[in-house]
Chains A and B, each alone.
Chain A
Amino acid sequence: MLAVRDLAVRFGGVTALESVSFEVRPGSITSVIGPNGAGKTTAFNAITGFLRPTGGRVTYDGAALTGLRPSAIARRGIVRTFQKTSVFPALSVQDNVLTGLHLRGTAGFLAVLAGRRRLTAEERALTAEAIAIIDFVGLSHRRREAASALPYGEQRLVELAVALAARPRVLLLDEPGAGMTGSEKTVVSGLIRQVRERGVTVLLVEHDMRMVMGISDTVIVLNGGRVIAEGAPAAIQAHPEVIRAYLGASAGSA
């Protein structure tokens, strides 16, 4: 289980996260919502090692993640995507995913130089796995194209595929639906559900309330660097403090 305890992040005099605590139940889809500047992405960055928290700690199955490099955290099965589209632009979709499979490979420097025969078998297995992941996100027809040549929505799918390639046990998605059309969002929601069905825990930051309320088991509401509410989507929608802080007038239509 991923647990966040009293997480605090301050940039000089600015407090981005005051004291945030929550737990992500294994096998759940948990969403973090909150107004702009609430600290959602900061929390993601602190959990995945891209930012060193000022205080508090993050643990996964009891082991501390705080202080580890992002790559070491990924090695422990906690993998994130980014709010701004983030792919390996010049590489083909397949090479993007193959790069995402880094941790699944074993080939080291010396083995590569020696040209060991088992490496060919490993490369073949990795390629097959990459193709399967690309199929899963529905980009088979784009496999050989450079990621930068793809339309925006498809680049976000490449990003998801790269993250999935790292075999996450907990997948942190930072606004996977941002800038997508309604039908693209439906596709992404479906993919997220399928990922969960494969046993991956999903932690989601998202602004689209329809998407959040549609797929989440638990919703955590951040405001001003603290958790102001936590619960099932229906309870959150009815929570008076949440309505005041965040949903406001649009609460009825959400």
Chain B
Amino acid sequence: MTRAGGWLLAAGALTLPLWLQSPYHVHVAIMAGIFGVLAMSLNLLLGYTGQLSLGHAAFFGIGAYTSALLTLKLDWSFWPALAAAVALAGAAGFFIGRLALKLRGAYFVLVTISFAGVISLVSVNWIELTNGPLGLPGVPAPELGPWSLRTKTAYYYLVLAAVGLSYLVCRRLVRSRVGRALVALRENEPLAESVGVDVTHYLVLATVVSAAMAGLGGSLYAHYTRFVSPEVFLFTYTVTMVIMVVAGGKGTLAGPLVGAVLFTVLPEALRAAASWQWQMLAYGVLLVLLVFFLPRGIVPRLGAARPGHPRSEPGSATPRP
């Protein structure tokens, strides 16, 4: 992304509520932002270390429940609850990372799926704590000093700040020695080991950061919808994140954001345009077309289209058999 383009985008994002007509549109923008955080989080693992976490909704859900429970049951205010959500999701990531120490590929996928399954069952069955399938209503809206961030516009800026922070974290990580170690794990693990990259250390690190970021998304979601139920652990959330990352361009910085915006706005636009039978069909057809024509995702394609710019980022990968 060129510098001017980046500033233009930032300016657009900052003034977006002024352009949007209805609160509904701001709502879509907020959801796109929350999913942007989640997609960036998944991309750290999937795009850079090459490991697919198909239980990513677990970290999202842990963040949502932690934040909701702390504010509801212990009367914590939003900000420490948010920090605790990030920390606890990160700790869960550490657990998974250590567990999956020697597991790669399909086995890593299985461990993450199982973890999400277990956590989801806990949320349904530990009724004294989680209120079971009924969920936790009345999660308070965040406050910032004297102001309540109850309005959609205020919440939009909160989410935007989270998106900016997550992007910055990803960018600094990826464009560093740490990021090179993550990519080395994806590209050729034995070779990485042979030149002294402690692969398991970096895999655990990536899992922790990724999980913590998903926890951030979860907390933001909980305090936005003001309601948390076991639905946050639905496999659909994970699948949506995967679609966003893959369609936008895994292993690129901007890809997950592009994917998140596209796949949040698109279903909403389709909802307005067509009856529900056609919505899913159109969604499916678009997905097939994307995979067929842009197998590496949207962002790498844009990067490749610019002359004299063969590779957008150190991490942007060519698909390997």
Give A residues with C-beta under 8 Å from B.
48, 50, 69-72, 74-75, 79-82, 86-92, 95, 98-100, 102-103, 105-109, 112-113, 115, 119, 122-123, 126, 144, 146, 148, 162-163, 165-166
Contacts and interface: CB of A to CB of B under 8 A. Distances in A.
B311 A88 contact: no
Contacts, number: 111
Contacts of A92: 311, 314
A113 B169 contact: yes
Nearest to A45: B190
A108 B177 CA distance: 8
A127 to B, nearest CB: 12
Contacts of B317: 90
Given A88-B184, A102-B195, A112 B172 contact: yes
A79 B192 CA distance: 11
A71 B196 contact: yes
A102 B188 contact: no
Contacts of B197: 71, 99, 102
Nearest to B180: A99
Contact of A108 (B178, B184, B194, B199): B178
A131 B97 CA distance: 35
Contacts of A109: 173, 178, 205
Contact of B178 (A112, A126, A163): A112
Given A74-B194, A82-B190, A108-B178, 9 more contacts: A71-B199, A72-B198, A86-B188, A88-B183, A88-B192, A90-B317, A95-B180, A162-B191, A163-B195
B318 A146 contact: yes
Contacts of A163: 194-195
A225 B28 CA distance: 67
Contact of A90 (B172, B181, B320): B320
Contacts of B191: 82, 86-88, 162
A165 B195 contact: yes
B187 interface: yes
7 contacts: A69-B193, A70-B190, A79-B194, A87-B191, A99-B192, A107-B178, A109-B205
A90 B311 CA distance: 10
Contacts of A126: 177
A22 B15 CA distance: 71
Contact of A107 (B177, B184, B320): B177
A91 B195 CA distance: 16
A69 B198 contact: yes
**Top 10 A-B pairs, shortest CB-CB distance:** A74-B196, A88-B187, A70-B193, A166-B195, A105-B177, A103-B196, A112-B176, A90-B317, A107-B177, A71-B198
Contacts of B176: 107, 112, 119, 123
Contacts of B195: 74, 79, 99-100, 102-103, 162-163, 165-166
A99 B196 contact: no
A175 to B, nearest CB: 15
Given A162-B195, A163-B194, A99 B311 contact: no
A166 B198 CA distance: 13
A107 B205 CA distance: 14
Contact of A95 (B172, B178, B314): B314
A48 B190 CA distance: 11
Contacts of B181: 99, 102
A144 B311 CA distance: 9
A79 B190 CA distance: 12
A70 B192 CA distance: 9
A122 to B, nearest CB: 8
